[in-house]
Amino acid sequence: GAVVSQHPSWVICKSGTSVKIECRSLDFQATTMFWYRQFPKQSLMLMATSNEGSKATYEQGVEKDKFLINHASLTLSTLTVTSAHPEDSSFYICSASGLAYEQYFGPGTRLTVT
Amino acid sequence: GENVEQHPSTLSVQEGDSAVIKCTYSDSASNYFPWYKQELGKRPQLIIDIRSNVGEKKDQRIAVTLNKTAKHFSLHITETQPEDSAVYFCAAGGIQGAQKLVFGQGTRLTINP
């Protein structure tokens, strides 16, 4: 099946710093990638949808200037959490979709902001 | 927009018994309904999905049923095993290209030996 990787798997940063998370599709070309946030014992909340070469579409309530998304190639999308604060601590998961409609998830990145 | 409701939030069954999780959706335009299994701290894994032109789909011990008129779909797990213990999420979306999925709240399934 399709393989999606994410890096790093976990990161601890200080309040006010920025963190970049990478999402890669390893064996297929991802025309669309999705970024989710998942708080403990909660569901996956879609943050944004990104298509290769175009600007990301953010869900209502998600600050696009705080969560910068770049989808520069068909195999790589990045999420940068700028000026991170403790309330941004969460599990961030990406998913990738090719020509079909199935979404394949990355392993997630656990962000802790101190 | 789409809204997906999932019940129950927790489910405990004896090993070997069946488990059923139900979801309802609001947008009649949704035509793709996947189910994901997520173990603690890991990625959601697609276990089965169904498209709106099909009423039922089965894969070994797992089956999904869809009632488009009533806008609800269900996951059925038979002969449950301890390794089935996890959180299960339903979702609804479209099949025209890569469309976003709206997830249910999740069901924590515990299989008691």
For residue A76, the model assigns a pLDDT of: 93
Average pLDDT over residues A52-77: 91
For an interface test with B, the pick among A102, A110, A112 (most B C-beta atoms closer than 10 Å) comes out as A102
- Specify whether the backbone of B33 is left (phi greater than 0), alpha (psi in -120 to 50) or beta: beta
* pLDDT value of residue A42: 93
pLDDT of B96 reads 67
Q: What is the share, in percent, of chain A residues with pLDDT greater than 70?
A: 99
Q: Please indicate whether, in this complex, the C-beta atoms of B43 and A34 are within 8 angstroms of each other.
A: no
Give the residue from A102, A111, A113, A110 showing the smallest Cα distance to A34: A102
- B93: DSSP letter: B
Q: Alpha-carbon dihedral of residues A25, A31, A32, A33, nearest 10 degrees?
A: 20
**Residues B6, B90 contacting (CB under 8 angstroms):** yes
> CA nearest B97 in A: which residue?
A101
From chain A, pick out residues whose CB is under 8 angstroms from the CB of B98.
Answer: 31-32, 97-98, 101, 103
Average pLDDT of chain A is: 93
Model confidence at A100, pLDDT cuts 50, 70, 90, reads confident
- Confidence class for position B98, pLDDT limits 50, 70, 90: low
What is the average per-residue pLDDT within B14-30?
A: 96
